Structure 1
Amino acid sequence: MTALKNRKCTPCEGGVAPLSEGEARTMMHELEPDWMLIDGGNMLARTLTFENFIKTMEYVNKVAKLAEQEGHHPDFSISYNTLSLELMTHSIDGLSENDFILASKIDEIE
């Protein structure tokens, strides 16, 4: 399999099945270990802690720029120096390869 971070998200309009929990667990091996499968394997989640609010927001803006480039967007929850990210493909109500591609690219952000 080509490294996920080297791939590009492709538009998903629905009509395809979400990844099974087994497929998602296999793809988890290409991500940083703090990513988790939640919601019965239908969503990826990661929580990060930063030095302060400004550092948190700088990181959020880097992720936002990446998400725009990829055309695939995470959900953010911010509490001072803590950022929670959630990824899923809403059009299929579950995980797609796009979620893992974006997660692997988020892993590369410093």
Structure 2
Amino acid sequence: MVDMAELLTDDQISSALEHLPEWRHEEGELTRSVELASFPQAIQVVNRIAEIAEQENHHPDIDVRWRNLTFHCVTHSKGGITQADVSMAQEIDSAIDAFQQS
């Protein structure tokens, strides 16, 4: 089992990205951008991610531009990507999917 707080190797990140097709590895972070149907829906997604982040005690950086969201997952205290970032990316994908299907 991978320690959630240990930095992932490039190979581990590449392997994780095989299961996160909307995400990319840029500048030491996992990054995903998405366009929602409306500004209120984008804010609902942000609010849902905030709830999850509080539960997990791991917080992504989120850029909100009208109905466009960009998520950045990185463990700042470790200076790179950890399993906690991969898990948060999966949670973000699930939240986005739930809102886009409703």
Once the two structures are superposed, residues 53-97 of structure 1 have per-residue CA deviations (whole angstroms, 9 ceiling, x without a partner) of 111101100011011111100001011010000000011100000
SS in 2 for 1:93: coil
**Other-structure match for 1:19:** 8
Q: Which structure 1 residue ranges, 5 or more long, are not aligned?
A: 2-8
TM-score when normalising by structure 1: 0.79
SS in 1 for 2:31: strand
**Other-structure match for 1:29:** 18
- RMSD value, Cα: 1.7
**Other-structure match for 2:73:** 87
**Other-structure match for 1:47:** 33
SS in 2 for 1:94: coil
- Percent identical across equivalent pairs? 29
Cα distance in structure 1, aligned partners of 2:84 and 2:18: 15
Residue 34 of structure 1: how far off its partner (Å): 1.1
Q: Work out the number of aligned pairs and report it.
A: 95
Residue identity matched to 1:23: Q
Cα distance in structure 1, aligned partners of 2:56 and 2:44: 19
SS in 1 for 2:64: strand
SS in 1 for 2:43: helix
Cα distance in structure 1, aligned partners of 2:22 and 2:68: 14
TM-score when normalising by structure 2: 0.85
SS in 2 for 1:55: helix
